[in-house]
């Protein structure tokens, strides 16, 4: 089965963009301000967002850029829509913050709300909940964005007849460093579709982060 990148986006240290077009400039903006500005820019109206950790917020913003305008009735089926994400730092950003709440005996106050986010795959779950996606859900950890492995894993997901489309890519946060690179992948050959293969993914990713 031939697969195509129907759309892609990135949120990096300097811009928020979709399909190579800059939507918002982030120069000189820290992660907290970026996550707040991104919420307002996309007009999310999703109060649960404020309860999430930074990794989940970043994933929600990137997913929203790609999924907000999808015609679910004509293009894809939510029951067959998969999510396949990866990163290098797991949930370490939240783990460090949570550790501070339990490190001192005289100030021991563990946060249940924060503890929920001490697993990296929660970001995929939050995206699935917001958009009611019920397909396969996969998250893996690697030292860097492994586009070859990504291609293999995604092709394996699409070998199953219940998958019609997938949100695929990289979402990583640690302290003030953050990046997200997501692609909407499907067998749908659109006018601007790019063949889903490691070389093309590398080209798009390097353009955004090189």
The first and second tokens of residue 53, run together, are 């950790």
On the question of pLDDT at 4 being above 90, the answer is: yes
- Closest to 59 (Cα-Cα) out of 150, 137, 4, 142: 137
Look at residue 6 and tell me whether its pLDDT is greater than 90. Answer: yes
DSSP characters over 140-181:
EE-SS--HHHHHHHHHHHHTSTT--EEEEEEEEEETTEEEEE
Q: Is the pLDDT of residue 189 over 80?
A: yes
Determine the longest span between alpha carbons in the chain, in angstroms: 61
The domain locations on the chain are: 4-205
104-142 pLDDT per residue, tens: 666 666 778 888 999 999 999 999 999 999 999 999 999
Whole-structure pTM value = 0.94
Residue 209, pLDDT > 80, answer no
Looking at domain 4-205, its CATH superfamily turns out to be Thiolase/Chalcone synthase (3.40.47.10)
């Amino acid at each position: 089965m031939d697969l195509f990148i129907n759309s892609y986006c990135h949120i990096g240290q300097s811009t928020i963009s979709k399909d190579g077009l800059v939507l918002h400039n982030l120069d000189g903006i820290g992660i907290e301000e970026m996550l707040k500005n991104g919420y307002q820019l996309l007009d999310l109206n999703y109060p649960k967002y404020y309860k999430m950790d930074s990794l989940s917020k970043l994933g929600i913003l990137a997913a929203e850029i790609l999924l907000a305008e999808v015609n679910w009735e004509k293009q894809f089926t939510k029951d067959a829509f998969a999510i396949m994400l990866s990163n290098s730092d797991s949930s370490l950003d939240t783990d460090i913050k949570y550790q501070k709440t339990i490190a001192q005996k005289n100030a021991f106050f563990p946060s249940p709300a924060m503890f929920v986010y001490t697993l990296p795959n929660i970001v995929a779950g939050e995206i699935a909940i917001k958009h009611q996606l019920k397909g396969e859900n996969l998250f893996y950890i690697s030292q860097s964005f492994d586009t070859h492995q990504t291609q293999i894993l995604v092709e394996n997901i699409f070998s199953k007849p219940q998958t019609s489309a997938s949100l695929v890519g990289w979402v990583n946060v640690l302290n003030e460093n953050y990046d997200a690179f997501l692609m909407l992948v499907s067998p749908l050959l659109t006018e601007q579709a790019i063949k889903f293969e490691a070389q093309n993914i590398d080209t798009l990713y390097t353009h955004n982060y090189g």
